[in-house]
């Protein structure tokens, strides 16, 4: 698959086969992803990999509860209240792998750099039949001190991106987008 095809066909994938994403597969994707440009050459990224079924399921429940209990603190999630109240809704779509990308706040560019890494992972994964979905809901928990401490994330690292990942079960047709707006083109 060439890069154009990967970009054209990538979609957010929310349905996965039982086949696990292996350590080798994930290491290959991360090694490729960190070829991303990096402000001031600081490479301010760090990763947490979650692959324990029970832990991922528990985290999904904790995130749903925390957001619903403090909905006023999460105006960005208000439109999804009915999803969160659905007992069958799983924040990570039952993915077997969740990759959490943290950025070092010592770099003023860490959010950009880590977002580029996340984008690279999603495109490279597409080439391997591995589907990803960025999970914004995870922001409710993965920046918490107790979660970070439990996963050895240093205090100066801040959550940037969470990707649920798994071998794609149901491919999604290529996306359509609104026409781009050019504010000026002289
Ligand atoms: C910052 C960000 C946060 C997102 N959060 C979620 C999420 O919590 N749950 C989810 O199912 N999809 C989430 N998505 C995926 C978007 O819904 C998806 O990218 C969008 O609908 C466009 O679809 P596509 O990725 O298939 O082209 C998120 C995407 C981004 C970039």
Pocket test for ligand 1, best of 134, 161, 166, 174 (most atoms within 8 A of CB): 134
Model confidence band, residue 32 (pLDDT cutoffs 50, 70, 90): very high
**Do 153 and 104 touch, CB atoms closer than 8 A?**
no
Q: How many other CB atoms sit within 10 Å of the CB of residue 37?
A: 10
Q: How far is CA 13 from CA 3, 16, 65, 157, in A?
A: 19, 8, 24, 27
What confidence score (pLDDT) does residue 168 get?
97
73-85 pLDDT per residue, tens: 999 999 999 999 9
**Do 21 and 167 touch, CB atoms closer than 8 A?**
yes
Does the reported pTM lie above 0.95? yes
- Structural tokens at position 50: 């979650």
Which helix (DSSP H) or strand (DSSP E) does residue 118 occupy? helix 110-127
What confidence score (pLDDT) does residue 75 get?
95
CB of residue 12 inside a 6 A radius of ligand 1? yes
103-139 pLDDT per residue, tens: 999 999 999 999 999 999 999 999 999 999 999 999 9
CB of residue 142 inside a 6 A radius of ligand 1? no
Domains of the chain: 3-167 (3.40.109.10)
Model confidence band, residue 24 (pLDDT cutoffs 50, 70, 90): very high
Model confidence band, residue 2 (pLDDT cutoffs 50, 70, 90): very high
Average pLDDT (22-51) is 98
Question: Order of strands across the sheet with 130-134?
Answer: 45-50, 97-104, 157-167, 130-134
Model confidence band, residue 155 (pLDDT cutoffs 50, 70, 90): very high
Q: How much distance in Å is there from the Cα of 128 to the middle of ligand 1?
A: 20
> Atom 6 in ligand 1: which residue has the minimum CA distance?
135
């Amino acid at each position: 698959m060439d890069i154009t095809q990967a970009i054209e066909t990538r979609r957010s994938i929310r349905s996965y086969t039982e086949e696990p994403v292996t350590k080798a597969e994930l290491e290959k994707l991360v090694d490729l992803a960190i070829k991303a440009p990096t402000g001031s050459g600081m490479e301010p990224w760090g990763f947490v990999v979650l692959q324990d079924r029970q832990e991922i399921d528990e985290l999904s429940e904790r995130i749903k509860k925390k957001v619903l209990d403090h909905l006023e603190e999460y105006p960005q999630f208000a439109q999804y209240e009915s999803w969160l109240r659905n007992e069958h809704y799983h924040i990570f779509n039952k993915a077997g792998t969740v990759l959490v990308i943290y950025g070092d706040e010592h770099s003023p560019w860490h959010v950009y750099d880590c977002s580029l890494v996340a984008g690279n992972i999603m495109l490279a994964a597409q080439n391997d039949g591995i589907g990803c979905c960025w999970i914004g809901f995870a922001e409710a928990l993965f920046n918490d001190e107790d979660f970070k401490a439990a996963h050895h994330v240093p205090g100066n690292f801040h959550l940037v991106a969470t990707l649920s990942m798994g071998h794609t079960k149901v491919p999604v047709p290529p996306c359509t987008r609104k026409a781009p707006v050019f504010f000026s083109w002289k």
